[in-house]
């Protein structure tokens, strides 16, 4: 496990106070807006920043413990750090940049080989080139390779895609997925991009103004009402782990199965039987008391109301049980009262829009999706 429980105050009024334990495997995203404290946390884990108090433990090894006066030096922590900008040595070709990372580790600790890293990141054709001739995405892949070849026990990635345009981000994301799936290396990934987090992360630590809002498995945290200050009212929703069950070539649609039923979405570039992650925003779920007829919405699911929470302003958050799964919906308080929504009531959930990994960024069955 990775345990981070630290407090830190800086001149100017910024204060960080967080306490979370996450698995020492997969990708843990530190998510929040600028100034939330994300980078400060990974700098503390790396040893660049010293907390005022607290404790940092990675896979049983204590990096920092203020009570016991333990503060392991940066070089002894064996963490790889990938910055927003690649920070390659401009005078060295790609291969020598990579070999620099290799030289930083002892030969007896080399489970990650040079050829394996080059193949994983698809940079074999770049080895003789210098950094100034590379695209932004290529430079970041080389930077990741250099960090991996230092044989880290933990990889820290500080907004590695933030400086890239959309085309370069699209280019590098599959390599990050491959890294996550094949290396077995725990990754702390800083981002304020919800799309990156949803695509890459297994675990989420949400932060706001130096305070931890929530921490835990991604799907669980994303559905918590506490995420409202982090995501904003209109990005709250549900994350679903789905299986591709069939494709309809005539209509360019795919059918995904999840614990609560099936969803029909624009064709996903995945084989039948593959798993994909789907996101349904609460504002894109409408509620009806009877099964709607003759409507354009394709995804109609029988559901039961589990909870109704009126919020400040015009909206109410509705928790729905759909089969063995759950959906979050957002309607106006007026609609909730008019429909008589209450726990135990049987309703129909109309899913107007689904965002699915491997398809177009967003699909809408209907037009405007403001809650009503």
**Rounded distance, CA 258 to CA 323, Å?**
9
CA distance 307 to 291: 20
Q: Which tokens is 194 given?
A: 């919800």
Cα end-to-end distance, the chain, whole Å: 44
- Map residue 69 onto helix, strand or coil: coil
Per-residue pLDDT reduced to its tens digit, 264-316: 999 998 899 998 889 999 999 999 999 998 899 989 999 999 999 888 789 99
Count, in order, helices (H) and strands (E) of the chain. 10, 22
How far are the Cα atoms of 151, 312, 349 from residue 341, in angstroms, in the given order?
55, 18, 12
Other C-beta atoms closer than 10 Å to the C-beta of 229 total: 15
DSSP labels, 72-138: --HHHH-EEEE-SS----TTS-HHHHHHHHHHTS-TTS--S-HHHHHHHHT-GGGTTS-GGGS-HHH
What are the chain's domains?
2-230 (3.40.50.300), 237-364 (2.40.50.100)
pLDDT in tens, the chain (372 residues): 999 999 999 888 889 999 999 999 899 999 988 888 999 999 999 999 999 999 999 999 999 999 999 999 998 898 999 988 888 999 999 999 998 877 766 554 557 888 999 999 999 999 999 999 998 889 999 999 999 988 898 999 999 988 888 888 888 888 898 888 888 889 999 998 888 888 899 999 999 999 999 899 988 888 777 787 788 777 788 888 899 999 999 999 999 999 889 999 999 988 999 988 899 999 999 999 999 988 999 899 999 999 998 887 899 999 999 998 889 999 999 999 999 999 999 999 999 988 886 543 333 343 344 555
Q: What is the pLDDT of residues 181-190, one digit of tens each?
A: 888 889 999 9
* Cα–Cα distance measured from residue 236 to residue 199, given in angstroms and rounded to the nearest whole number: 16
Q: Is 30 helix (H, G, I), strand (E, B) or coil?
A: strand
pTM for this model (two decimals): 0.81
Match 């009212």 to its residue by tokens.
Answer: 233
């Amino acid at each position: 496990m990775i345990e981070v429980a630290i407090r830190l105050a800086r001149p100017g009024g910024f204060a960080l106070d967080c306490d979370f334990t996450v698995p020492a495997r997969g990708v843990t995203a530190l998510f929040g807006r600028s100034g939330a404290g994300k980078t400060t946390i990974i700098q503390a884990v790396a040893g660049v920043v010293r907390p005022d108090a607290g404790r940092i433990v990675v896979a049983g090894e204590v990096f920092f413990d203020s009570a016991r006066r333990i503060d392991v030096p940066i070089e002894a922590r064996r963490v790889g750090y990938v910055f927003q900008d690649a920070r390659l040595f401009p005078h060295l070709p790609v291969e020598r940049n990579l070999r620099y990372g290799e030289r930083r580790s002892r030969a007896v600790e080399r489970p990650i080989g040079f050829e394996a890293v080059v193949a994983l990141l698809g940079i074999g054709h770049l080895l003789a080139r210098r950094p100034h001739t590379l695209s932004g995405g290529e430079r970041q892949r080389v930077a990741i390779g250099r960090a991996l070849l230092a044989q880290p026990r933990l990889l820290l990635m500080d907004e590695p895609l933030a400086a890239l345009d959309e085309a370069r981000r699209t280019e590098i994301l599959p390599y990050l997925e491959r890294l996550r799936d094949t290396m077995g290396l725990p990754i702390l990934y800083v981002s304020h991009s919800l799309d990156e987090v949803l695509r890459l992360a297994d675990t989420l630590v949400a932060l706001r103004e130096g305070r931890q809002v929530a921490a835990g498995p991604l799907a669980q945290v994303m559905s918590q009402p506490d995420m409202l200050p982090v995501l904003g009212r209109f990005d709250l929703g549900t994350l679903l782990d789905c299986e591709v069950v069939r494709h309809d070539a005539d209509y360019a649609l795919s059918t995904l199965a999840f614990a609560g039923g099936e969803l029909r979405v624009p064709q996903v570039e995945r084989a039948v039987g593959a798993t994909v992650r789907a996101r349904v925003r609460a504002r894109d779920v409408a509620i009806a008391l009877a099964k709607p007829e003759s409507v354009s919405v394709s995804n109609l699911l029988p559901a039961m109301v589990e909870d109704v929470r009126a919020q400040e302003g015009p909206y109410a958050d509705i928790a729905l049980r759909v089969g063995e799964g759950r959906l979050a919906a957002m309607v106006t308080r007026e609609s909730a009262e008019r429909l008589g929504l209450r726990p135990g009531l049987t309703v129909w959930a109309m899913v107007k829009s689904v965002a699915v990994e491997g398809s177009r960024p967003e699909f809408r069955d209907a037009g405007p999706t403001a809650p009503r």
